[in-house]
Each structure stands twice: as structure tokens, then as C-alpha cells.
Chain A
């Protein structure tokens, strides 16, 4: 094997691509959890986004229409979850699982005619002379537009949660829904909107996988990305900036293990392919072992359903 064949600049540029789908899904879920809702259906929403985006892009020949369709599909599936948990007061854990099982099945059904198709290409953005800069150029100034969208989303969500009235209401609803209700905020409406936003983000993340990262449609292609996004929210301690850090660390691990596979590292492929999941578990352990800190940063009403009494 030849570790020297792995080019660090290329590695960083491609880890950003590997991290973007998880980052998008994690940012959406972060907002959902900040509103006090635990949506375990991220995996199901992502894969529906992946197949809808792919199908729409192949049919229309336009990748951006595909992305829009994926956003719509993600929000639609999230709406099912919102109705179940917010209107019909169903258990959030079970509803999220149902969403994942349903999404995996439905995506396989929808995607049947699209196995082996090639999606329209999405061009990378170039910034003239900036792109030609050594090292910085390929990393910062030659990515596809969605990488920049995801970065803007990190900043946007951070600012919105911290500094706007809407963000404060959302956090109040997530910290203590009874107090928020007593103050006159519409707990249910805030949560439904947050769930829809989370679904849209996860759908877009899924489409990024099928249209840009892979780009192809295969059954079950998200392979746990949605679950990793959920873990990432815990790792991030519900802070957008740390979600970015976590996603890029994780993307680095994914790209590195793929590079090691390609370089013929003397470990069977299957063990290398396990590493992202094992590392995610280790990170979860590290984050949660500090009991005081996790319970302080987790939204107070996370996972509890709200029913206005009387």
C-alpha cells in the first residue's frame, strides 16, 4: 500500500462533499430538537429525498428541480410525522421508527425504474483566479453550490436561533413547553413548522447523496447517514457550529477509510467500512459520559409530547 498516494488537499476537498449530506440532515434535526421534538425518522426522510430528487432530476433533466422535489418530499414525509406526534399525540420514538421503515420501503418502490440511470451533472462553482490558488483554491473555491448552501445554513440557523424573536420562541417551546404555552406561544404550531423544516433539510441531504456525492440510485443507499446525523446533533450539543465541526470530522473519517480501501491497506474492506459507525458510537459515549453537561445542553422538553390541558 501507499499512504503517500493520498493527497491531503484532495482529501479535505472531498471530505466536505462527504460531510454535506449529514450536515444538512443534522442541521434540520437540530432545529427540530431545539423545538423539543425527537424525530427518529431522519433516515427514512433522507432516503425518500434521495429517490425523489433523483427521479425528478432524471425525468426533467435538471438537477435543481430534483433538489426542489427532494425538499418537498422531505417536508411531506415530515408532515406525516408532525400529524402523528403533534395532532394525534403518538409516541415520538415509535412514530420516527415507523417513518424510517416506511421510507425505506417506499423509496425502493419509487426507485425501481431508476436503478442504473445517470442524473444530470451539477457543475462545481468556480471563482476565477481564486479557484486557481494552490491548496485554498480546490478546498474553498471549487465546490458545488450546495456545499456553500450548507455552510450558509450553519451561519443562518446559528444567527436565527440566537438573535431573532422566532428563534427565541422556538427555544422556549423546546426548553419548557408548559411555560411557553402559558406565555401564549403556539407550541403545536411552532413544533409542526420545525418538523417541516427538518424534513426539508433531510430531504435535501438525501438528494445530495443521490445526485452529487454518489451520484446514482441504489436501494438503501443512505446506509445509516440519517442515524449518524442524529448522533451528530448530540455530539454538537445542539449548537450549529459544532454540528459543522462534527460533520467535517466525520466526513474526514469516511473519506480516509475509503482512501485506505482504495490504497489497499492490509485490513479487509468490511472492517474499514465499520469504522464510521464505531467512531460515531465512541463519540456519543464521550459526549454523554459527562452527565451534567449533556443534560444542561439538551432541550428540556425533548421527546415529551405536549397536550394543552383544559
Chain B
């Protein structure tokens, strides 16, 4: 029989190895899934992981997409990772992302068509504030009434989606849009547009913000007392209280940061790649960012790598959809499997697996 023996502290080597192993296992399981769907698994895996970057035919289009898709994922995941480290589960980033985008779009549309250099920074502030405010709902309910932040933040995603629908068909609808749902095209409003900074790289202000968020998260978690408190609260809540860490303050900070980052991601998206507020504006970045945060081991550098990888699965998934008519949902399954394998393999970093031969076990159960 195999027996698990808890390690005194998690194994560092496995900590680095498990994400890589999880990706490999996901590729194998994904290949089996594609084979079941009647597609050539090797071709599908190549299309998803190789061709977007290195193919002559698609590379020039898909390489810039990498930064476009990875930007919001990394930005949101950084905020989530801070909370997850402290054991504060904000899983409603998708809602905070939507509300951030709505607030930013509202600011842009309020100024339209006036041109000013102030519009864009104001939109960033509005986006961050919108996401922050949406995340403050579960935060305050948690600190004031001890309400479970997991359920509240998640339920607020559905509320945000309805709000988005109301905005697209109602209060933010393009008055010159002949009654069609959707706002004005913010991307074509020069003062508000979030354009590519360097041609053909896919780098827009969202990518810059993601990079800044990574630096911020790194400094905060590794070098600042607040990061120490976050980690302490996550690993030893009792010790944290004795050390004078106020749990309520931590909840407000963690959820607030997560919300602000997600709201900013929404702002950069609506002014950039998405171009306008539409009913189906949100693309699930807020949920995929949860996978990014875990795959990146809740560490900013890991999050960058994980964000790029999951961005690749988005782009490769579209490519596979186009070339092999693999359904879009298959990529979602793929991402879900990745998280499964990662969580399953974590047992290797937290436990030693020992072969327990019958008769030689000394302990009495």
C-alpha cells in the first residue's frame, strides 16, 4: 500500500516541477480528448502550443495576440494571488473586471467627443475604482457581518453580467447606433483609445500595467511588511493574530487590490481590444486568472509565465477551432484539466509517498 507522509515543509524542487508536469499531463489528457473528438491529437497540440508562436503562416497574426491576452490575465492574477496567499478567496474577479470596464467606459462616454489628455488617466482611475468598489461589497460584508466572501464575490459576477447587459442595451447604448445594443466605439475616440504602443507587438497600456502589477506584487509580497503579514495570515492565522495582524484590515486590502487590478484590466480591454461595451464583452478572463494564479504558484514571476501559457491556449484554441474545427469549449475543458492536474500533483510537494509493506508498519492505527 502507498502511504502519504506529511513533509515538515513543502518540497521546493517539487514546487517548481509540478506546474511543468501538470502542463505535460494536460497535453496528454488533452490529446486523448481531441482523439475522442476524432481529431489528430498531435496536430491539435501543435496548433495550440507551437504554431501561434513559430508558424510562418499564423505567427505574424498570433504573436501580438499573446501580449493582448496575457496582459489582463497577469494583471488580474497578481491581485488574486495576494488574496489567495492570505487565505482570502476572491473568486469574483470576473464581476470586478466588468464593473471596472463599465465605469471606465462611462467616463469616456461622458467626455465624448471632447479631446483631452486627461480622459485616459481618468478612465484608468475610474476602472480601478469601479473594480475596487465592487470588491468592497464582499470585503465589507465579510468584515462587518462575517459573510462568506467566496459566495458573495461569485454571486456578484452574475449581478455584474446583468448590469453589463443593462448598460449595453440601456444607459451606455450608442445613441447613434440605430437601436442596436452596444456602446460607442471607444477605441475610435482618440483621447480614450488604448492603442498599441509598439506596432505589431500587441503591447498596449494594459501590458504595461500588468508589468507594473507584477513588480508591485513582487515588492509587496517579498520585501514589504504587508506581504509578510499576508503570508503569515495564510500559513498561520493564529500566529498572525498574536503578531498583531488585523484580519479585517487584511481582507479590505486584499480584496481591494484584487478588485482594483481586475477593474483596470477591464478598462484596458474596453478601450483597447474589445473596443466597446457589448453584451458579451467579458470573455472569462476573471475565471481563467484563477488558474493563472495557481499555476504560477501565487508568485509574481510564476504568474507571468502562467499568464503567457494560458494566453497561448486561448490563441491556439482559436487556431485549432479555425483549422480543425475543434469546438471552442474544448479549450475551456483543457484549462480546467490543467488546474485539476496541478492540484493533484501538489500532493508531491506537500507529502512524501512511502511504500508501506503490510506487517512492517510499526504504527498502530
Binding site for B on A (CB under 8 A): 40, 80, 83-84, 88-91, 93-95, 97-98, 101-109, 112, 219, 223-224, 227-228, 230-231, 234, 268, 270-271, 273-274, 277-278, 280-281, 284-285, 288-289, 291, 294, 307-310
Contact = CB atoms under 8 A, between A and B. Distances in A.
Contact of A101 (B146, B332, B346, B365): B332
B159 A91 contact: no
Interface stretch (B42-50, B197-205, B249-257, B337-345): B337-345
Contacts of A224: 154-155, 158
A274 B363 CA distance: 56
Contacts of B144: 289
Contact of A97 (B91, B170, B329): B91
B298 to A, nearest CB: 11
Given A90-B347, A281-B152, A288-B145, 5 more contacts: A80-B340, A93-B89, A104-B332, A106-B329, A274-B162
A227 B150 CA distance: 10
Contacts, number: 139
A107 B330 CA distance: 10
Contacts of A309: 6
Top 8 nearest A-B pairs (CB, nearest first) are A105-B332, A102-B336, A108-B329, A270-B166, A105-B333, A98-B339, A90-B343, A289-B145
16 contacts: A83-B344, A90-B343, A97-B339, A101-B287, A102-B337, A102-B340, A105-B331, A106-B336, A224-B154, A268-B166, A268-B170, A270-B166, A274-B159, A281-B147, A289-B147, A307-B6
A285 B336 contact: no
Contacts of B222: none
Contacts of B350: 89
A200 to B, nearest CB: 20
Nearest to A44: B336
Nearest to B157: A224
A109 B333 contact: yes
Interface string B200-236: 0000000000000000000000000000000000000
Interface in B83-119: 89, 91
A88 B158 contact: no
B283 to A, nearest CB: 13
Contacts of A308: 365
B347 A291 contact: no
Contacts of B122: none
Q: For B148, B155, B347, which residue has the most chain A Cβ atoms within 10 angstroms?
A: B155
Nearest to A112: B327
B91 A278 contact: no
B146 A294 contact: yes
B6 A291 contact: no
Contacts of B89: 93
B165 interface: yes
Contacts of B163: 270, 274
Contacts of A274: 158-159, 162-163
Contacts of A108: 327-329, 332
A294 B158 CA distance: 26
Contacts of B156: 277, 281
Contact of A109 (B4, B151, B329): B329
A157 B4 CA distance: 34
Contacts of B4: 89, 307
B130 to A, nearest CB: 17
Contact of A98 (B145, B165, B166, B343): B343
Contacts of B162: 270-271, 273-274, 277
Given A108-B329, A224-B155, A84 B146 contact: no
Contacts of A83: 344
Contacts of B330: 105, 109
A284 B146 contact: no
A84 B344 CA distance: 6
Given A98-B340, A288-B148, A278 B347 contact: no
B294 interface: yes
A277 B155 contact: yes
B291 interface: yes
Contact of B290 (A91, A97, A294): A97
A83 B347 CA distance: 12
A108 B151 CA distance: 24
A270 B147 CA distance: 26
Interface in B270-329: 287, 290-291, 294, 327-329
A285 B165 CA distance: 26
Contact of B340 (A84, A227, A285, A310): A84
Contact of B343 (A40, A94, A219, A278): A94
Contacts of B14: none
Contacts of B6: 307, 309
Nearest to B287: A101
A106 B294 CA distance: 21
Contacts of B339: 94, 97-98, 101-102
Nearest to A272: B162
B165 A284 contact: no
B351 interface: yes
A101 B289 CA distance: 12
A93 B159 CA distance: 22
Contact of A277 (B158, B165, B287): B158
Contact of B165 (A91, A270, A289, A294): A270
Contacts of B327: 108-109, 112
Contacts of A288: 145-148
B141 interface: yes
Contacts of B290: 97, 101
A60 to B, nearest CB: 21
